[in-house]
Amino acid sequence: MMADRLNQVVGQAIAVTLENMAFMEIAPVQADTEVPTSDNGMMARMLVLEPFQGEVQLAATTALLRNVIEVVHAFPDEAVVEAMLSDMLGELLNTIGGRLLTEYLPESQSYRLGLPEVGWDLPDCSEGQSRAWNLQIEDQGLVLTLAGDGFFAG
């Protein structure tokens, strides 16, 4: 029951964010979807500070980030630099993470998030259970991971 709700909330948070920011639709991952790795993508982490300790992580291929930047900033692909990719991934994580907690926690429950940090080699601060959602946006992979028992309690 709780897992169903988490599934729904995660899907909704990603869908609303991508749709509002870049008019893109998400789909379940396919066998030929390019999955983000340290070679072809970027990863960002953001701590959940209150009401529990946890972490939200988002990984995306640089091809996907370039596509989103092209829509949001109206920038030609060749003008996109790494700082823009990092900023885009951080803002996607920030928006998805906030949306997710707003929907998942009880309405009266306040929460506090850290600032997004981008990099594959960041130390893993999370403890307890974790779960990843693999999604596809325009043939490119996006992986959202939630870590921390608070996400799975109840």
CA 9 to chain centre: 13
Nearer to another protein, 21 or 63 (CB): 21
Nearer to another protein, 69 or 143 (CB): 69
Minimum CB separation from another protein for residue 115, in Å?
Answer: 6
Residues linked to residue 41 through DSSP beta bridges, in sequence order: 61
Phi first, then psi: give them for residue 147, nearest 5 degrees. -130, 140
Scanning 15-23, 122-130, 132-140, 146-154 for contacts with another protein by CB under 8 A, the matching segment is 15-23
Max Cα separation, the chain? Answer: 48
Minimal CA–CA distance to 144: which of 52, 59, 42?
59
In this structure, how many other beta carbons lie within 10 angstroms of the beta carbon of residue 34? Answer: 15
Residues from 29 through 58 that contact another protein (CB under 8 A): none
Q: What would the two tokens of residue 131 be?
A: 């779960």
The residues in 70-129 that bind another protein, with binding defined as CB under 8 A, are: 72-73, 84, 87-88, 90-91, 94-95, 97-99, 102, 105, 107-113, 115
Nearer to another protein, 27 or 81 (CB): 81
- Cβ neighbour number for residue 5 with a 10 Å cutoff: 12
| Site residues for another protein per CB under 8 A | 16-17, 20-21, 69, 72-73, 84, 87-88, 90-91, 94-95, 97-99, 102, 105, 107-113, 115
